[in-house]
Amino acid sequence: MENDEFDHWSKVVRQTDADVVIAAEIDQRWKASLDGLKSIYPHQIVYPQDNWYGMAMLSRLPFRESEIRFRVQDDVPSIDTMIELPSGEAIRVIGVHPRPPEPIRDNDATARDAELVLWGKELAEDHRPIVIGGDLNDVAWSPSTRLFLRLSQLLDPRRGRGFYNTFHADHLWMRFPLDHVFHSPHFTIRGLKRLEHVGSDHFPILIDLQLQPVLKDEQEPLEEKAKDEKEAELKLQRAAESDEIEAVTTPLSSHAEILHSGGQLG
């Protein structure tokens, strides 16, 4: 949200030529940049906010259905879509940005951990092709992220490939992998890279996935642990007892701007 390099960011997006773009911390100032990409990405869900939790999803592929969801707090949205591929098949693509621990504001990790648990448990029950990505405000090796992967049975494409540290982009030291893309075993990986500095304190991440369900039984998610369900319930209970958190899930808000030229929005 504090990045003013609108033209640079847009240039990198154009050069990258991705099918789907998830952008975090979108506010009203960024709308012009998103509008400038309509010729490439005619399908857009834009939910600007001035609290560092606005979000947008841009796609050259049509949305069959879409929903803005507030899993834990009513000012922290996620974007949940079904996107139609040129083959006619559909995949579920989700953009997330849970609230991080903020000691200076007396916020702990309760909200973030609860959101990851809710997504993990829900996605475990969905056997369609799934991609979920965003700034999780958590490193790849943390207990919370690994619990999410065990609950959801999704795959981390970095396993065996490297850390892909994305934060802090302005520092040459103490960088961490806070931005993630996880996917179901329906996909194989054609490429994964960290992109150039775009003015943000986070580097962008680009992943190239190929839908190949025939190979899904050959990919191994993290092995579940006996204590996972109990740990997950404890995190949800902690969130339920917090005065700062109100668990909600709402349909698409009228404040979101939807640019859509096909299919149906739910």
| Cis status, amide bond into 8, omega within 30 of 0 | no
Output the pLDDT for position 107.
Answer: 61
Structural domains for the chain: 6-257 (3.60.10.10)
pLDDT digits (tens, 9 = 90+) for 137-180: 777 778 899 999 999 999 999 775 667 766 676 787 777 666 88
Poorest-pLDDT segment among 5-14, 37-46, 75-84, 213-222: 213-222
pLDDT at 42: 97
Residue 18 above 80 pLDDT?
Answer: yes
Among 71-75, 94-98, 112-116, 258-262, the least confident range: 258-262
Residue 203 has pLDDT above 50, yes or no: yes
- Fill in the amino acid letter for 243: D
pLDDT of residue 219: 76
- For the chain, the average pLDDT equals 85
The pLDDT score that the predictor gives to residue 244 is 66
Could you tell me the pLDDT band of residue 197, with boundaries at 50, 70 and 90?
Answer: confident
Least confident of 40-49, 117-126, 133-142, 202-211: 133-142
User: What's this model's pTM, rounded to 2 decimal places?
Assistant: 0.87
48-52, 69-73, 158-162: range with lowest mean pLDDT? 158-162
Average pLDDT of the residues in 174-187:
84
